[in-house]
Amino acid sequence: MKRIKIQLVTLIIGLGFILPSCSDFLDQENPSSASSGSYWNNKQEAEAMLGGCYGVLQQQGLYFNYYNGADPRALDGFGTTDGSSGWWFWSPADNALSWGQLSPSQELVEVVWDACYKGIARCNEIILYVPQMGPDKIEQADADRIVGEAKFLRAFFYNYLTSLYRDVPLSTEPTSTGYISKSSKADVVQFITEDLKKVVESDALPDKISAEERGRADKGAAWALLCRIYLYNQKWAEAASAAQKVIDLGYNLEDNYLKLFSEAGNNSQEVLFAVRFSATIDGTENKMRGFLSTRNNENYYTPITVTGDLLNEYYDKNGKTLSKTSFTSEELLDPANRDPRWGYNFIGIEETWKSDDWINWYQVLSGHINKYQDYTVTEKFYDDQDYYVIRYADVLLMRAEALANSSGSQSEIEGLINQVRDRASVRMPHVTAAEISEAGGILNVVKHERRVELAFEGHRYFDLKRWGEYNKLSEYAYVGEAKSQVWPIPQKELDNNKALTQAPEWGGE
């Protein structure tokens, strides 16, 4: 009897187990992430995606410096006559530029390419999907603003790409293969400037953002970026008028030049757009710090040496070039006798001069970068310093340059330069006719002013390229003039993207 009962129970259990389990057992959603189908439900989600676009600015290839940066300041330091590589350092920029290893398979050309296109792909997601969300999920004004910022960033990434690689694929919506052939630089520029102009002429972006939103792009930033793109592409009239739009919005220079490049300068109204870095908020070390701005007291431990070439660019305090100065070379080493920005931007000049006699044989005068630095502390990378991308002095000088190239009013150009020189903590003499003639034209005075005002902020490498002054680039000595004009497309990209061809200078068709 018992035996039969157990057989019966066994049979029942057997059936129960053999029957298929509930059907959703095999459909596992990833609890750690979402997909485009399940995303885009509200403003917060759209803003998080925008945060991911901004986040690309902090990555290697863009404004990430840290131990092995390839950021614009590293390009200035390793890639131009402003800086020289003091010792072999494991940085993509150092290897490629100062040691002559620029090539399609070099890391530098890869990381910059990858970072920019990663940013573009992320912006494309927003630009496609946010307008589809509809009013029940996001208010129109919020959607417009988010899309406007994505277009701002996309224009920024494309400008960075075309400035270095010239002709690049123009990807404007999400792609699953990436197989897009190259567009000419002019076409890319036309697309992004028209795109951004529409944004900035609409009400998508606020004129100026409040301190609570510091880090987001506003109209001032967008006009300034437009100005930069126009200027980089010799569209002088458009550049000048975009700069004027910024000026009309009302900005001022920060009185204290040194304070500007400290944490206290983050909130300065001179800063139009900055990449945000904050150890306090992120809870990690500040990644704009690194070997370029070590922020420690260890004897200016940085692989970049400021060259005599740059140090000698700075006038004496009377506004005289070093060939016309009345000061002795000894006196010129005293910052009190120089353009004050000489002392603000550099450090350790005297010391090098006196103690290390072995340096004489290749460098008469050298120094170390003081911009963004704080040599008095030991908490190396632990601070909240932002990395300024566009500041007002740059905008003034961009307008000056645009006017100088398009026969603009001489007095306005001088006025713009003088405005930069009039900063309370600088107070350098105004532009004179003698200065212009010695420089060989007002345009060269603008170039001088850019070099001394914006030293080691990540502009010089791009300035030299667009001015065609290739022989002042470090790579020039290794790869020659043709290859100095344009970076190669990364070999990795060519291997993985059937639609692309290499730049002619680098062996392409």
Partner 1 sequence: MDLKKMLSKKMSISLILLLFGCLPIIAQTINVEGKVTDIKGEELPGVSVSLKGTTSGTMTDAGGLYNFSVPKTDQPVLVFTYMGYKTKEITLINTQTKYDVVLEETSKYLDEVVVVAYGVQKKANLTGAVSSLRVDDIKDIPVSNTSSLLQGRMSGVTVSSFSAQPGKDSDVEIRIRGIGTFGNSNPLVLIDGVEGSLSSVAPNDIESISVLKDAASAAIYGVRAANGVILVTTKRGTGANKLSYSGTFGVQSATVLPEFLDSWQWATLFNEQNNALGGDAPNRNYTPEMINALKTGSDKQHFANTNWMKEIFRTAPIQNHYLSATGGGQNSNYLASLGYMKQDGIMKGTDTERINFRLNADSKYLNMVTFGMNTAGSYQKTGEPLGGTWSIFNQIIDQTRPTIPVKYDNGKWGQYDGNPNFPLYQSNPVELTTMSSQQNTYKFDGKVYLDIEPIKNLHFKTSFAYQYNQANYSAFEPTHNHYKSDGSYITSGVASLEEQKAQQQQWINENIVTYNLDLEKIHSFGFLVGQSSQYNGNKTSNAKGEGFLSNDIHVMNAAKTTSATGWEEEATLRSFFGRVNYSYYNRYLAEVNLRRDESSRIPKKNRVGYFPSVSAGWNIAEESFLQKQSTIDALKLRVSWGKLGNQDIGFYPFAQTYNLGLDNYIWGNNKISGAALASAANPDIKWETTTTTDIGLDAVFAKNKLSLTFDYFNKVSSDILLQLPVSALIGVDEAPYVNAAEVKNTGWEISLGYNDKWNDFSFGANLNFSHVKNEITSVSGRKDWINDWTINLAGNPIGSYYGYVADGLYTTQEQIDNAPVGIGNPRIGDIRYLDISGPDGVPDGEITDKDRTIIGNPFPKITYSLNLTAGYKHFDFSAFFQGIGNVDRIVMDYPSIGGGATKEIWSRYNASENPDGTYPSLGNSTYNALPSSFWIKSASYLRLKNLEIGYSLPSSILSKARVQGLRVFISAQNLITFTGIKNYDPEKYAADSRNWTYPNAKTFSVGLNINL
Whose Cβ is closer to partner 1: residue 8's or residue 424's? 8
Using CB under 8 A as the binding rule, whether residue 25 contacts partner 1 is answered as yes
Residue at token pair 């340059």: 401
Output 381 or 456, the one with its CB closest to partner 1.
381
Q: Is 145 in the site for partner 1 (CB under 8 A)?
A: no
The CB density around residue 210, as the number of other CB atoms within 10 Å, is 9
**Closest to partner 1 by CB, 206 or 415:** 206
354 touches partner 1 (CB under 8 A): no
For position 206 contacting partner 1 by CB under 8 A, the verdict is no
- The one among 194, 379, 422, 481 contacting partner 1 by CB under 8 A: 379
Instruction: Strands of 179-235 (E only): list them.
Output: 182-183
Write down the least CB distance from residue 178 to partner 1, Å.
Answer: 3
CA distance linking residue 106 with residue 121, whole number of Å = 23
For residues 176 and 181, what is the distance between their CA atoms, to the nearest angstrom? 14
Q: How many CA atoms lie within 13 A of 25 on its CB side?
A: 4
> How many chain residues bind partner 1 (CB under 8 A)?
100
Rounded-to-integer distance, Cα 94 and Cα 47, Å: 36
Among 41, 42, 48, 250, binds partner 1 (CB under 8 A): 48
Amino acid, single-letter form, for residue 21: S
Q: Which residues contact 235 (CB under 8 A, 6 or more apart)?
A: 193
Q: Does 284 bind partner 1 (CB under 8 A)?
A: yes
Which residue of 244, 278, 410, 485 would you call a contact of partner 1, by CB under 8 A?
Answer: 278
Instruction: Give the binding range for partner 1 (CB under 8 A) out of 20-28, 189-197, 227-235, 453-461.
Output: 20-28
Q: In whole angstroms, how close is the CB of 345 to partner 1 at the nearest point? A: 23
H helices present in 261-326, as ranges: 279-282, 308-311
**87-106 binders of partner 1 (CB under 8 A):** 87, 105
Pick the closest to residue 412 from 227, 239, 244 (CA basis): 244
Site stretch for partner 1 (CB under 8 A), options 8-16, 192-200, 330-338, 473-481: 8-16
Decide if 94 contacts 74 (C-beta within 8 A). Answer: yes
Q: Looking only at residues 222 through 251 of this chain, which bind partner 1 when binding is defined by CB under 8 A?
A: none
Is 51 a binder of partner 1 (CB under 8 A)?
A: yes
Q: Does residue 54 bind partner 1 (CB under 8 A)?
A: yes
If you ran DSSP here, which 8-state letter would residue 447 be given?
Answer: H
Asked if residue 181 binds partner 1 (CB under 8 A), the reply is no
List Cβ neighbours of 317 (8 Å cut-off, separation of 6 or more). Answer: 336, 337, 338, 339, 340, 428
Q: Site mask, partner 1, residues 148-177, x = CB under 8 A?
A: ---------------------x-x--xxxx
